[in-house]
Amino acid sequence: MECNKEEATRAMSIAEKKLTEKDYNGAKKFVSKAQSLYPNLDGLRQVLTMIDVFVSASNQNNNESDLYGILGVDPLADDVTVKKHYKKLALLLHPDKNKFLGAKEAFELVLDAWCLLSDHSKRKSYDQQRKYKEEQQKRDADANQEEEKIKRWFDELREAERRFKNGMRRENENSTAEAERLFKRRVFTTGNANSTSEAERLFRKPMKAEDANSTSEAERLFGWRPWRCVN
């Protein structure tokens, strides 16, 4: 256990250093490590409370810290609850009792929050400003969301138009190519019996004796020539 205590003490020292560097997540990580190594180590609760105060103070809304978060109370908490939480934090963070680095700064944050929230008029003004800023943030968020929605709609419209044009272009290209294939190529091929080339082959070449319709065949069969004179 003594070995664990030494390791836990070293982890706490690192956590203090992280606090001075405002690395609150890192500080909390090493405090949690120290707590797991030696749960009864002195100062664990004090340092964890300091971290919570600093984190709440860093959660600013328009450069204004979350005073309710610093005291660890709900915005609807009554005066008794607010005072109770302040006293609890003051005991843990007062520099006379808390010797860890950053304790004084954490205590001052708690004191400032208490001074404002314990005054009814100041608290009311703070709540009004807080509500207005929250509503403004919501309006801005809604406006940004609507703007993004419109932007996506236009992007989808442009994409649909692009696809439509590309589809029409491909269809036109295919239609033109097909038209050229059907109508611009030489239709009169040799293999077409109705083509001019085929007609030339059949009727313009010298007729052979083997052709049953030729004059030579007639001479062979009947032994006469139509242009000879008969004596």
How does pLDDT run across 2-26, given as a tens digit for each residue? 678 999 999 999 999 999 899 999 9
Please tell me whether the overall predicted TM-score, pTM, comes out greater than 0.85 for this model.
Answer: no
Give the tens place of pLDDT for each residue, 147-180. Answer: 888 888 888 888 888 888 787 777 666 666 666 6
Domains, the chain, with CATH or none? 2-118 (1.10.287.110)
**pLDDT band for position 136 (cuts 50, 70, 90):** confident
**pLDDT band for position 229 (cuts 50, 70, 90):** very low
Q: Which residues contact 29 (CB under 8 A, 6 or more apart)?
A: 15
